[in-house]
Chains A and B, each alone.
Chain A
């Protein structure tokens, strides 16, 4: 009697003599497409918190921003203050009628040295705040 390879159906192997095929041990049930699908749970993942999409999408929030107002104030005060300090230092240098060392040497030196810093910081603050408004600007 021929031996058949147990891995395959004997009807397709050499020496098969009409013996019925081996019964299938396990049948796989194919679900009917028309059958109703089992009810799915309402949510499979925890509910995500509501995010302020408008703020994230818009990026920088300028309306009611106190720091933007502070930048405007810094821009104005520092720029004008720096220019005034420079003018005042030149006045002190040119007059040279101080009676003590503070008025004669120290104050003009400090004013003339610090005024460019304040003027430049004010201008940078102005450019920065205008840039913020330009980034947020939308054509009406």
Chain B
């Protein structure tokens, strides 16, 4: 079955966004669940984790946020193509 190009691009954009969100979820979970021991010389900020003190370095986002941004850009492009190719039903 031949699909409209906007439908294909929309599917790709949704897949990219969902993939980026999945990577972000994994990354945040790894970061939160991997604290450093509290130390006065490490330079890490001491925060609460499950009611206990834990040291955390600054969170550094990787490629996952860029993937989500690319998916958003593709979604906007999908809507633009759909607007161009839309015709009223007769």
Contacts and interface: CB of A to CB of B under 8 A. Distances in A.
Given A67-B82, A70-B83, A71-B83, A99 B28 contact: no
For chain B, the bracket of interface size reads 20 to 34
Nearest to B82: A67
B64 to A, nearest CB: 9
Contacts, number: 94
A69 B88 CA distance: 14
B86 A70 contact: no
B45 A104 contact: yes
Nearest to A125: B76
A114 B68 contact: yes
A85 interface: no
Contact of A106 (B31, B76, B80): B31
A106 B59 contact: yes
A121 interface: yes
B55 to A, nearest CB: 10
Contact of B84 (A104, A110, A120, A132): A132
A104 B87 contact: no
Given A114-B65, A125-B79, A102 B32 contact: yes
A39 interface: no
A105 B56 contact: yes
Contact of A121 (B32, B56, B73, B88): B73
Given A109-B59, A114-B69, 19 more contacts: A55-B88, A60-B84, A63-B88, A64-B88, A65-B86, A68-B86, A71-B79, A71-B80, A78-B76, A101-B47, A105-B56, A106-B31, A109-B61, A110-B61, A110-B65, A113-B65, A117-B68, A120-B73, A121-B76
Interface of B: 24, 28, 31-32, 35, 45, 47-49, 54, 56, 58-61, 65, 68-69, 72-73, 76, 79-80, 82-84, 86-88, 90
Interface of A: 52, 55, 60-61, 63-68, 70-71, 74, 78, 98-102, 104-106, 109-110, 113-114, 117-118, 120-121, 124-125, 128-129, 132
